[in-house]
Amino acid sequence: MTGTTLPDVVPPSARPLGPAEGRTGERTTEGSGLQPAPFSLRRRFALASLVVITVIAIGLGWMLSRVLTERMLQREAEVTMHFVNNVLATDGTWAFFRRPDDNLLRAEFLQSMRHIVTMRESVRGNAYDTRGHVLWSTDEELTGQVFDHNTELAMALQGEMVVEADETEPGQFSKAEHQGLVRRGAFFVEAYFPVRDPQNGAVLGVIEIYKIPEKLSSDIHQGLRQLWLACFGGAVLLFAVLYWIVARADRLITEQQHRLTDAQRTASTVELASAVAHSLRNPLASIRSAAELLQEGPGRPEDVRELSGDMIESVDRANRWITELVHVAQAPQLHPESLDLVALVQTCLQEMASELARRGIRLSVEPSGALPVLAHSATLRQALLSIIANAAEAMPQGGRLEVGWSRSEGLTGVSLSDTGVGLSPEAQSRLFQPFASNKVGGLGMGLALVKRMVEQWRGELLVTPAQPRGTRVDIRLPAPPGNVN
C-alpha cells in the first residue's frame, strides 16, 4: 500500500447512467432505493418562463395602458384648455371673475360660456371663484353652491390643469357635483382649467368642463386592445424563441450525454478488465506455487492434500470474485444498502489470510461490535480486497497490517495501516489522478475510482502516511438512518 501500488476496483461507472444521473448528477435517496424523477429541462423552463413572461406582459400592458390613457386624456384636456382661454381672452370676459357683480360682464361671460358648452361631447360646464363658489353652471341649481372635499378643484385653484376620468354607476355618484348628469353609467371626463389674469398671471378662478367623449373613449379602447394584443403577441413570440433555444440546447445536451455514456461504458470495460486481472493475481500466484511444489514430487499425502486444498480454495476465491465483478458490471444501478462494516472487513481479511501469512505479515484488528454503514456490498468488498492486497505487496519482506475503526460526524469508518515503504511526496500529490501509477503493469485507476465511488455514497476516502512508516487508508461511510450518533 505505497505510492506505487494503487488498488483497482470496478466503479459504479461500469453501468449505464440513468436519465436523472446523466443529466443532473442526482443520486438515489439514501436507504430508500428510490430513484428521483428525471429532471426535464424543457418542462421546467416552459413552466417557469411561462409564468415569468406572463407576469411581465401583464405588468407591462397595465403600465402602458395607463400611460396611453393618461396621455390621450391629457392631450384632449390641453386642447380644450387652450380653446377656453382663447375665448375668454378674446372677449375679455376673464374680468368677470374679478367683478362677478358686474351685470354687463356677466352677460358677456354667459355669452362666451354658451359657445364653450356647445363644444362636441360637452355635457356640463361650471365656473368657480377662488373660494370654490359656483359662479355659473349649465345646471342652474348648482349656481351659488360650494362643494367640499373637491381635491381636483383645490389643485386647479393652485394653478394646475387637472384631468380625471370616471364612470358613474347608475344611481350612484362619486362626487356631489355629479348630481344631475343626464347620462349615468357612461364614461366621462372632467377637466379643471385655471383662469389667469393676463396682466400678472394670478389665478382668478376655475372653469370645469364635463365631457362624455364617445369618440375619444372608442379610440382609447381601440388603442388598449391593440396594446394588449401587442403584449400578448410579444409574449408568445418571446416564449417561442426562448423555448426553441432551450429545446435545442436540451437535445444537444442529451446527445452529448449519450455519447458520454457510451464512452464511459467503453472505459468501464478497460477498468473491469484491470480489476479482474488485479483480483485474480493473488489466487493465480497461490495456484502456481502449489503446482510448482507438486511438480517437484508427490511428497507426503498430507502435503498433497494441503496443496490441493490451497488450489481449490484459490480457484473458489477467484470464481467468487469474478462472479461479483460480473454482477457489478451488469447491475443497472448500484444502490447503497445497509451492511455491517466490521463483518465485511473480517470476511475480506479471512480471504486474504493465506496470502498475508505467506508474506509474513502480522495482522492486528481492533475489537469492535457491529458498525452499520450505507454502501454497495460487492463494490466495497472489491475495494477492501484491493487495498489489503496492495498493503501485502508493499511489505514483501513482511510487516504489520493494523485495522481500526472510527465513528464521527455521522460517518463510520475503517482504517488500514501498513508498515511498507510509504508514500513519496510525488506519489502523494498524484494519488487520485487517473492513470497515475508507478506500479509496473498498473493502470493507476484504483484510488481515483474508489474515491469517486465512496463520495457517491456521501462518504470520504483519505490516504495519509502512517507512523512511524507506511501508509494509512481511511474509508468513512454514512450510517443508515436511525444509526447516526
339 and 485 in a single domain? The answer is yes
Which residue, of 212, 227, 259, is where some domain finishes?
212
- The rounded distance, in Å, linking the Cα atoms of 72 and 184 is 23
Question: Domain range spanning residue 171?
Answer: 125-212
Residues 103-112 pLDDT 10s: 888 888 888 8
State yes or no: pLDDT of 418 exceeds 80: yes
Contact predicate 361/18, CB 8 Å: no
Q: What pLDDT is recorded for position 396?
A: 84
Q: What pLDDT is recorded for position 183?
A: 55
Residues 374-389 pLDDT 10s: 998 888 887 888 788 8
Residue 395 lies inside a defined structural domain of this protein: yes
Does residue 105 or residue 39 have the better pLDDT?
105
The average pLDDT across 340-355 equals 89
Highest mean pLDDT among 361-370, 421-430, 431-440: 361-370
Which residue, of 212, 242, 273, is where some domain finishes?
212
State yes or no: pLDDT of 443 exceeds 50: no
Give Cα separations from 291 to 13, 279, 288, 308, 485 (angstroms). Answer: 37, 20, 5, 9, 51
The x, y and z cell numbers of residue 91, run together, are 372677449
State yes or no: pLDDT of 476 exceeds 90: yes
Percent of the chain with pLDDT over 90: 9
State the first-to-last Cα distance of the chain, in angstroms, to the nearest integer: 31
341 and 471 in a single domain? The answer is yes
Residue 64 lies inside a defined structural domain of this protein: no
Helix, strand, or coil here: 134?
A: strand
Residue 48 lies inside a defined structural domain of this protein: no
Q: The CATH number of the domain where 181 resides is what?
A: 3.30.450.20
342 and 473 in a single domain? The answer is yes
State yes or no: pLDDT of 62 exceeds 80: yes
- The rounded distance, in Å, linking the Cα atoms of 52 and 159 is 43
Residue 103 lies inside a defined structural domain of this protein: no
Residue 476 lies inside a defined structural domain of this protein: yes
Q: Give the chain's domain count.
A: 2
> Is 346 exposed, middle or buried, given 0-12, 13-18 or 19+ CB atoms closer than 10 A?
middle
* Angle made by CA atoms 188, 84, 222, in degrees to the nearest 5: 35
Give Cα separations from 104 to 99, 108, 213 (angstroms). Answer: 10, 6, 33
**Across the chain, what does the average pLDDT equal?**
77
Q: The CATH number of the domain where 401 resides is what?
A: 3.30.565.10
Q: What pLDDT is recorded for position 223?
A: 81
Residue 25 lies inside a defined structural domain of this protein: no
pTM: 0.44
164 forms bridges with which residues in the sheet? 190
476 and 355 in a single domain? The answer is yes
Q: What pLDDT is recorded for position 403?
A: 94
How long, in residues, is the chain?
A: 485
- The rounded distance, in Å, linking the Cα atoms of 130 and 144 is 13
State yes or no: pLDDT of 328 exceeds 60: no
The average pLDDT across 340-356 equals 89
Give the confidence band of 170 by pLDDT, cuts at 50, 70, 90. Answer: low
Residue 292 lies inside a defined structural domain of this protein: no
- The rounded distance, in Å, linking the Cα atoms of 317 and 219 is 91
Residue 421 lies inside a defined structural domain of this protein: yes
Which residue, of 212, 230, 261, is where some domain finishes?
212
